[in-house]
Amino acid sequence: MPHSAAHLPHLWLPYSQMKTAPYPVEAIQTDGSTITLHDGRQLIDGVASWWTACHGYNHPHLRCAITEQAQRMPHIMLGGMVHEPALTLASRLSSLLPGDLERVFFTDSGSVAMEVACKIAVQFHLNRGTPNRHKLLSFRGGYHGDTLGMMAICDPEEGMHSLFGDALPRQVLADLPTTSAYLAELEQLLEKRGHEIAAMITEPLVQGAGGMVFHTPQTLRHLRRLCDQHGILLIIDEVFTGFGRTGHLFASEEAGIVPDIVALSKALTGGTLPLAATIARKSIFEAFLSDNPLHALMHGPTFMANPLACAVANASLDLFEREPRLEQVHAIAQQLEHELVPCRTLPGVRDVRVKGAIGVVELDQLDDAPALNRAFLDEAVWIRPFRRIVYLTPAFTITPDELSRLTGAIYRVLKARS
C-alpha cells in the first residue's frame, strides 16, 4: 500500500497535509457501530462519522425512509413549491425546540446553517433600521465551520484558520464568561461596543472542534442575560450538541434558555444525508415581513430541504421518540466515567472528562496523532485524536462491550506511548 495520501490519484482530503498524511483506509460497509474495511478488517467506531450517526449505521427505519422517498421524489426545488417531508420536519423541529423558535430555514451543512443564522441576525437589525449593528461576537475556542464567514468567527488560532488573518472580516472575539473575571471583561466590552453587535454566537456547553472543552449552563445563562440587556441576538450553534449528544435533546435545554436562533445539522438525519436547519424565533421572522422586497431573506441553496434528507430526518426523530436514546446516552456517560478514569494515572494525561456521550482524554501534548490513529487501527477501533485530545463520541446504540473495546484501546495505546 502506498505510504502517503499524496498517492491518491484525484481525491483532495479534508484537514490533511497530503504530502505527509498516511494513506487512508478504505471503508466498504457499516453496520451498527462496526466499520468494515476493504481488506476485511472490522473496526468499532468511536467517532460516529464526525458525530452524526447517533442511531448507529444502517438502522432499518432510516434505510426504509430513504428507500421509500427515493421511489417517490428524491428531490424537488423549494422555490415556489413545498413538500410534505419538509413541512412535517419543520413543524416537528419547532415543537421540539423551546419557546417560540418556530421558523425553520433548511440548508445542507452546519457551516451554511450558521452562515444563514448570522445573515438573519444582521438583516434583522437592518430591517429594523439599526444598520450599525452588524458585528458578530464569538468566543475563544469556538468552531462554527470552514466557510469564509464562519472562519471569521472561529477561534483565530484553534479554529484552523490562523493563516487567513486579514483576508477575513474583523469580528469581535471574547472569552466565554466561565469565571467572574471573564464575565466582568465581557460586560465591559459590551458596555463599550454592545451597540455595534448584531449577534453573540456560541456552541452550548461543549466547544467541540476547539478541543471538547465544557462549560456550565450558568455560562449560557450569563450570555442570554447580556444579550437581553444589550439588544443582541443570541445564536446557539447546536450543530454538534443537538440531538442528545450532551444528555438532553438540545444542550441549551440544560440551561433553560431560549436562544434567538439555533443551528442544527450533523445528527439531524441520523448520520445518513447532508441536511441542516436554522431556526429563528417568531419575532425575528416577523422583522422580515414587510412591503419592502429588500426586507426578504435572499438565500436559497439549490438542494435546501432535499426531500430524501427531510424524510430520513423525520425517521430519525421517530427513533428518538420510539427508542430510549437519552437513556442510552446516560448509560454511555456512566460507562465512560468509569472506564476512562484509569487514564488519569497515565503520564502525559492532563485531564479526563465526560459529558453525555462525549468522553475526552486530554494530553499534555499530541504531536503523533497519525501514529496514534495507526495504533488504534491495530486495536481494531476507529478513533481520531486531534489537537491534544483523544475522544469518543460513539453512536448512542453502541453496546457496553463495544464501548469497553474503545475505552480499553485508549488506555492501552496511551500506556504504550507513555
Ligand X SMILES: Cc1ncc(COP(=O)(O)O)c(C=O)c1O
Whether 182 sits among the annotated catalytic residues: the reply is: no
Contact window for ligand X (CB under 6 A) among 5-13, 28-36, 235-243, 395-403: 235-243
Contact window for ligand X (CB under 6 A) among 137-145, 177-185, 293-301, 375-383: 137-145
Minimal distance, residue 332 CB to ligand X, in Å? 19
Residue from 44, 86, 90, 209 in contact with ligand X (CB under 6 A): 209
Minimal distance, residue 316 CB to ligand X, in Å? 16
Active-site residue identified among 45, 155, 237, 260 = 237
* Residue 145 lies near ligand X (rule: CB under 6 A): yes
Whether 266 sits among the annotated catalytic residues: the reply is: yes
Strand-pair category, 233-237 with 261-264: parallel
The answer to whether residues 393 and 322 touch, using CB atoms and an 8 Å cutoff, is: no
Query: Is 240 or 285 the residue whose CB approaches ligand X more closely?
Result: 240
Residue nearest ligand X (C-beta atom): 110
* Residue 239 lies near ligand X (rule: CB under 6 A): yes
Radius of gyration of the chain (CA): 22
- Residue 297's SS3 state is coil
Cα 242 to Cα 158: distance, rounded to the nearest angstrom: 22
Break the chain down into helix, strand, coil percent, rounded to 5: 40, 20, 40
Cα 84 to Cα 223: distance, rounded to the nearest angstrom: 36
* Residue 396 lies near ligand X (rule: CB under 6 A): no
* Residue 110 lies near ligand X (rule: CB under 6 A): yes
Residues 38-77 that bind ligand X (CB under 6 A): none
* Residue 237 lies near ligand X (rule: CB under 6 A): yes
- Residue 6's SS3 state is helix
Residue 203: count of CB within 10 angstroms of its CB: 27
Which strand ranges, in their side-by-side order, compose the sheet holding 358-363? 349-355, 358-363, 389-392
Backbone angles phi, psi at 236, to 5 degrees: -110, 120
Query: Is 254 or 339 the residue whose CB approaches ligand X more closely?
Result: 254
Active-site residue identified among 57, 108, 143, 355 = 143
Q: Which residues bind ligand X (CB under 6 A)?
A: 109-111, 114, 143-145, 203, 208-209, 237, 239-240, 265
